[in-house]
Amino acid sequence: MEKQIHVLYTGKVQGVGFRFTSESIARSLQVSGWVKNLSNGQVEVVAEAEEELLKDFLARINQVFARYIRDTQVDWQDATGEFDTFEIGYE
């Protein structure tokens, strides 16, 4: 069953390639949604896929950026089906 995650990353998560790496990981796993920097220094991600793929997506991001991430807030919801690809968004 497809799920959606809404994630807020806090820490030194801007200026370290977070969005581009997240996009690459998402596309390799066929996860759809978007990632963007927020003006408060956080990075926001909304992504949809099968639950196991989303867990893998989160784990890979954490593996690459563990030293930069101070906090991660993840909200799980039912998928909406509104995304076709994974994109970098801009605030």
Catalytic residues: 19, 37
Rounded Cα distance, 69 and 29, in Å: 21
Residue the block writes with tokens 């790496």: 21
Closest to 59 (Cα-Cα) out of 87, 88, 22, 27 = 22
Rounded Cα distance, 10 and 82, in Å: 26
